[in-house]
Amino acid sequence: MPIFSSAQAVVVFVLAVAALGLTAFAFVDALRRPAAAFEYASKRTKVFWAVLLGVALALAFVSVPDPRSGALPGILGILSVVAAGVYMADVRPAVRTYRGRGPRGY
């Protein structure tokens, strides 16, 4: 029995795994940034983004379809990509410019 039911199932599975990777990267990046960077950039708090991206990561994880079913991604998977996309496109560039005090720049 083949692992994938169709070529479409392969594409959907790869996109879902890529969405999971994007969301995981955004979540880890938000955790690594100092809390002061979010205030400096006039963005919501670090806790807000950590919780939002943590929930998005969980949703992205459960949205990865079974490769044998050929199921399409649900709205929860799409919402997780939107949350990660907003962080990556708007918040991350703003908080990266923060240079705090201290020997390492944090």
Give me the DSSP letters along 33-102. S-HHHHHHTT---HHHHHHHHHHHHHHHHHHSPPTTTTPPP-HHHHHHHHHHHHIIIIIHHHHHT---SS
In this predicted structure, what is the pLDDT of residue 13?
Answer: 84
Residues (pLDDT < 50) of the chain are 1, 105-106
In this predicted structure, what is the pLDDT of residue 106?
Answer: 47
In this predicted structure, what is the pLDDT of residue 102?
Answer: 55
In this predicted structure, what is the pLDDT of residue 55?
Answer: 97
Residue partners of 60: CB distance under 8 A and separation at least 6: 16, 19, 20, 23, 24, 77, 80, 81, 84
The residue assigned the tokens 């205030």 is 39
